[in-house]
Amino acid sequence: MSLSATTKTTTATTTPTTDGKAPEASDNVLLRTARANSVRKLTSYESAFCGATAGVVSRAFVSPFDVVKITLQLETRQRSYGILRPSSDGMIACASRILRKEGVRGFFKGNLSAEYLYLTYGAVQFLTFDTIEGMLRRVGVLPKRARSFIGGALAGAVATSATYPLDLLRTRFIAQETSNRVHTSIVGALVQIRAEEGLRGFYRGLWPACLQIMPYMGIVFTSYDVLASGYTWMRRHCGVLASDSPVLRGLDAVQDAVIGGGAAVIGKSCVYPLDLVRKRLQVQGPQLPNFAHGAVPKYSGMANALAYIVRNEGVLALFRGLTPALIKAAPASAAVFYIYGYTRDLVLTVRPHS
């Protein structure tokens, strides 16, 4: 059952509990579903399980786009006589170069660390969102859209901080060439970074990462809620859309994916420059010349990186790799929300009615 059915639960009646009180249910379309005329909601741990499942499955679809995006983010453009000269011709040229130099395997560099990242990130993100949204709902002073934004922003910050070393490893594995490896395994990378850079080395770029992910996930969760609610309203009130044709039932079935992808495009476009800066900061350190063909300059921090890129490469350089990022973000987020919704409804089907 998709969120199309989920969003229709606002008019459903709740099943009383044994003490005569109606069970508490979220008014957020992501966290609830309808079964047998009752509003049912995932527990926090069930939400974490669904988020982890969604993260792992979605990763399988986006690895090549991820590699191309990060490769482009780590490339630099230099001014010559006031003219920006790009180091590559864009997404297609970058993908062709990876294929020519490293073969198909090059599109899956860092995939193991990325799978661990998506598994852990998905679990922590949805667990945190569920917990925070529930706390804010019980306080009862904020409207639903504000709860979605705050819950998404804090969930993104907590999940990013908890999984950041895995994100850093993913970037470094992608930044190295298969013929000139700096790190040969996850364990070896962890040992080497700890020895050469200390614990601080695992968190290079964390500050811009949090500054990016908080508005990004806030926008994504809020956009999802707005788009899902708007779709439900149109299905109820807009003439032919209110019918029950096979085409519209098919659209209902993939509503989670379509709305999730749209929400991701909106969010990613708003915060992309900070994502680019984060990637460049993640390869800083003693091995910097060995990553991305040695093209990334040495930065002292986020502000210095932003200023350097704008001054030496131009403002548009802050959006290098945006096209593959959006191509990746849309299906990745679509898969996350669709798998999350599918897993959620499966869990609630298996779980006995209380």
Domain holding 339, by residue range, is: 44-344
In which residue are the tokens 């091995």 written?
Answer: 287
Q: Given pLDDT bands bounded at 50, 70 and 90, which one contains residue 43?
A: confident
| Mean pLDDT comparison of 74-78, 139-143, 151-155, 234-238, highest-scoring range | 151-155
Whole-model pTM: value is 0.69
Q: For 226-267, how does the pLDDT look when each residue is reduced to its tens digit (9 = 90+)?
A: 888 888 788 777 766 666 666 666 666 677 788 888 888 888
Average pLDDT over residues 119-126: 88
Residue 111's pLDDT is what?
A: 80
* Residue 298 included in any domain: yes
CA-closest candidate to residue 282, choices 183, 180, 178, 169: 169
250 contact partners, CB below 8 Å, separation of at least 6: none
What is the bridge-based pairing of β-strands 38-41 and 78-80?
A: unpaired
Residue 331's pLDDT is what?
A: 79
How many domains does the chain contain in total?
A: 1
For the four alpha carbons of 148, 151, 154 and 159, in that order, the dihedral sign comes to negative
Q: Tell me if 120 sits within 8 A of 52, measured CB to CB.
A: yes
Q: How far apart are CA 218 and CA 7, in angstroms?
A: 20
Q: For 144-180, how does the pLDDT look when each residue is reduced to its tens digit (9 = 90+)?
A: 888 889 998 999 999 999 999 999 998 898 888 777 7
* Residue 14 included in any domain: no
Residue 133's pLDDT is what?
A: 86
* Residue 257 included in any domain: yes
Distances (CA, A) of 239 to 226, 235, 236, 314, 329: 21, 8, 8, 49, 33
Distances (CA, A) of 33 to 170, 206, 243, 258, 348: 35, 35, 21, 18, 8
* Residue 353 included in any domain: no
* Residue 38 included in any domain: no
The fraction of the chain above a pLDDT of 70, given in percent, is: 80
Residue 32's pLDDT is what?
A: 57
> CATH number for the domain including 180?
1.50.40.10
Residue 77's pLDDT is what?
A: 64
